[in-house]
Amino acid sequence: MSILVQHDNQLIQEQFNELLQNCPRVTKKADKELVKKAFDFANEAHKNIKRRSGEPYIFHPIAVARIVSEEMGLGTISICSALLHDVVEDTEYTLEDIKNNFGEKIAIIIDGLTKITNVFESDASIQAVNFRKILLTIADDVRVILIKLADRLHNMRTLASMPPNKRMKISGETTWLFAPMAHRLGLYAIKTELEDLSLKYRYPKVYSEIERKIQLNDKKRVTEISRFSLPIINKLDEAGIKYEINGRPKSIYSIWNKMQTKNVSFEEVYDLLAIRIIFEPSKNSSEKAQCWNIYSMITDIYVPKPDRLRDWISKPKANGYEALHATVMNLNGKWVEVQVRSTRMNEIAERGYAAHWKYKGNHSSESELDLWIKKIREILEDSSPDAIQFMDEFKLNLFSSEINVFTPKGHIKSMPKNSSALDFAYEIHSEVGDSAIGAKVNRKLVPLSYKLKSGDQVEIITSKQQKPHKEWLSYVNTAKAKASITKALKAEISNRIELGKSMLEKELKIQNVIPSSRVFKKLLPAYEVFNKDELYSKIASGIISLENLSKILKKNSKSKWIQYWIPQFGKRKTETEEPPSKDKFDLKKPFVIREEPDKQDIPYKIAECCSPIPGDDAIGFWDENGKLIIHKAKCPEAVKLMSNKGDRIVSAKWTIHKILSYLAKISLTGIDKIGMINEITSVISKQLSVNIRTFNFDVHDGIFEGKISLYVHNTSDLNTLILNLSKIKGIDKVKREEIHGS
């Protein structure tokens, strides 16, 4: 045995020993023996295999098992499954071998994990189809997705060893799917780390800059928090409460995300201070009462902001999260967020599902998490057959923020944000939704499209004569409502087709004609329809009249319409050039975006959804027609594509652009004064020779708000323009606005 192999074996054994020493739920001798057996099996299976980083492959399963044990608090079955999770996928061992050696439960989990791996190694449509199967496994055993999250977390921690295109795909996938999944399962710490690591690899410069600014501000922040906390500490000590208090730093991703969504600077985001109070509950009163008691102590010292009170104790979040959030003003006039939690609530907040399982015995009723897993099954049963649409619906319905609305009898219904009154109707029952004609929200009559808000009391008005309409699909937001409406519309179409078929056959019988392909060759072009179903449907709807049927049947079968349409179609098809292939380009190299897209070897198109301009961080996406579409790297559509179709993504960089101009949008606010508009247009048109497309200004109480669309060559020109405009006296803020396509 070589010295190098001996060294590797020693390191492997050390890693495993650390795992065994940090398994709080593996206490029985039989459990420890099973974990050892799983390690030996996996170690043998992955023998002499190295990771891309150069370390022994078995390091990865051990690391995943440690995350499962130490960071999630899961037990023996999960730890063994984590150690074995890549054996079936990457070695010659089969699922049958796992079942024979470790039993049915572990084999089922490994099967689910193997399916997930296949999903994220394949193309988009297969990903989405297989993801549906995975969700069925989650509904049966949520440990499958917990172990997969641990696997993804370790992969993200070691992502530096991957090539740039893989880093981009995996990071996009993580932001789009895995981080929201971790959040929904209550794994706050893991969700935060996944988001931060994704940002680090998607935008390394942005990440480093925010990290640097946090470190510079940290000393000042700690001092302010200490000064703020001191009076609260004195009050809690006087009351004899056992507690710990700490400053809650914002994650790098949450700072960046707020900077993007709110269009504000780092300083504006980081200005909000936050502390967390975690208390040991006493047996004399309920945790809820103790939370409100601590809140009362805080508001005796500091003035609260009533509209920022968040009570997740009376009604926990869907992932089981419980806490009381309040915002109060400190002595320097700054807002400070205070979170109050018991030790139990804190463990659920940090460790999610594992802690939920631990405390489940304390609550007789179903938890929000149990209901969420039930909802997964519901969506799987009623979801769209289109795979990508299904993925969108899944994210929309299971990861979105929630509102709580009330039935007329006072029962609470949790629904996704932006749900309509019609969504609520379908949430009660599909029959209520199908027959809905209107709603009363807080006793006031509203249309079915009305968007509900938390706290609304909703009553649905129905009629037996009502039927679902196609436009209803634009009113609703939930998968359940969309599926019910689509099902009802399909049933109506099917009934109409049957009726139309019966009507046509009756008329043909009168003409002594038997339906045949020769007959339909006459009827379809004559009525300008493309197939029999369309013909039947239009007959039943009264759009097509059969009064002239006999004349059509007597006509020559060669119609002008069919003669015109077929040659035209054929000509277009033969003239279509073969689209350029992504295989002609090395995905590992950045695509260079030159000034004239049509003159490049590989032409490109600027995405309308985000309208990037030269200088923006950009990526390229090969569409199904072989066209390269350039998106902003932070465009939501681009993030989704990175996740679903990562094998079609390429990094992109701009050359110097000085010929073509690109549309950009800026917003301005400031003090209204005589000549202000003239000064602004002078800077834009005369000083910088920029063409304005649209110019909108609103003035209210001496303050103006303006939005200007203009054409620039690149981000450098745009930044110069913003800088020059901000120098005008009276201008308060100038910033670039995102352009969203239709």
Residue 387: predicted pLDDT: 47
Of the candidates 8, 55, 70, 90, the residue annotated as catalytic is 90
Report, as ranges of residue numbers, the positions in the chain whose pLDDT lies below 50.
122-127, 361-366, 385, 387, 557-580, 742
Whether the Cβ atoms of residue 448 and residue 473 lie closer than 8 Å to each other: no
pLDDT at 572: 41
Q: For the beta carbon of residue 456, count every other beta carbon within 10 angstroms.
A: 19
Task: Name the nearest CA neighbour of 80 among 142, 143, 136, 131.
Answer: 143
Q: Which residue's structure tokens are 């198109």? A: 605
Instruction: Name the DSSP class of 311.
Output: E
261 Cβ contact list (under 8 Å, min separation 6)? none
Closest CA to 692 of 724, 663, 655: 663
Cα angle vertex 221, ends 219, 223, to 5°?
Answer: 70
pLDDT of residue 62: 95
CA distance linking residue 88 with residue 111, whole number of Å:
8
The predicted pLDDT at position 363 comes to 44
Q: What is the dihedral of CA 23, 28, 34, 40, to 10 degrees?
A: 60
Show the tokens assigned to 704: 């103006």
SS (H, E, C) 647-710: HHEEEEEECCCCCCCEEEEEEEEEECCCCHHHHHHHHHHHHCCCEEEEEEEEEECCEEEEEEEE
Closest listed residue to residue 239, CA positions, set 303, 284, 305: 284
Long-range contacts of 619-622 (CB under 8 A, 24+ apart): 619/168, 619/649, 619/650, 619/651, 619/652, 620/591, 620/649, 620/650, 620/651, 620/652, 621/645, 621/648, 621/649, 621/650, 622/582, 622/648, 622/650
How far apart CA 204 and CA 452 sit, in angstroms, is: 40
The answer to whether 80 and 102 have CB atoms below 8 angstroms apart is: yes
Which structure tokens are listed for 479? 């998968």
Strands 691-700 and 604-606, bridge-based pairing: unpaired
- Cα 681 to Cα 10, 77, 675, 738: the distances in Å are 72, 68, 10, 21
Please name which of 207, 225, 226 lies closest in space to residue 215, comparing C-alpha atoms.
Answer: 207
Q: Which of the 8 DSSP states describes residue 405?
A: E
CB-CB contact of 297 with 232 (8 Å): yes
- The answer to whether residues 639 and 664 touch, using CB atoms and an 8 Å cutoff, is no
Beta bridge partners of residue 59, listed in sequence order: none
β-bridge pairing 628-632 and 604-606: parallel
What pLDDT is stored for residue 575 in this prediction? 42
Let me know if 89 is a catalytic residue: yes
Q: How far apart are CA 450 and CA 420, in angstroms?
A: 5
Are the C-beta atoms of residues 676 and 704 closer than 8 Å to each other? Answer: yes
Number of neighbours of residue 410 by Cβ within 10 angstroms? 7
CA distance 178 to 447: 37
- The SS3 of residue 525 is helix
Cα–Cα dist 329/64, whole Å? 43
733 C-beta neighbours (distance < 10 Å), count: 14
Domains of the chain: 3-161 (1.10.3210.10), 205-362 (3.30.460.10), 487-575 (no CATH), 582-654 (no CATH), 662-737 (3.30.70.260)
Q: Give dist(CA 164, CA 651) in Å, integer.
A: 8
User: Residue 491 phi/psi, 5° resolution?
Assistant: -65, -40
The residues, any chain, with a CB within 8 Å of residue 559's CB and separated by 6 or more, are 522, 525, 526
Report the candidate in 503, 496, 531 with the shortest Cα–Cα distance to residue 517.
Answer: 531
Cβ partners under 8 Å of residue 143, min gap 6: 74, 77, 78, 81, 109
Its pTM surpasses 0.85:
no
Q: Which residues contact 553 (CB under 8 A, 6 or more apart)?
A: 511, 513, 519, 522
Mapped onto helix, strand or coil, the DSSP state of residue 415 is: strand
From the list 89, 370, 459, 637, the catalytic residue is: 89
* Per-residue pLDDT tens digits for 26-70: 888 899 999 999 999 999 999 888 888 788 999 999 999 999 998
Q: Measured over all CA atoms, what is the biggest interatomic distance in the chain, rounded to whole angstroms?
A: 101
CA distances from 219 to 226, 275, 435, 608 (A): 11, 15, 61, 44
**Which strands, in side-by-side order, build the sheet including 436-441?**
444-446, 436-441, 458-462
Count CA within 13 A, CB hemisphere, residue 362.
9
- H-only helix segments in 511-559: 517-526, 532-541, 549-554
Sheet holding 662-671, edge to edge: 691-700, 703-712, 662-671, 731-737
How many Å separate Cα 283 from the centre of its chain? Answer: 41
Q: Integer distance in angstroms from the first to the last C-alpha of the chain?
A: 65
Query: Does residue 575 have an active-site annotation?
Result: no
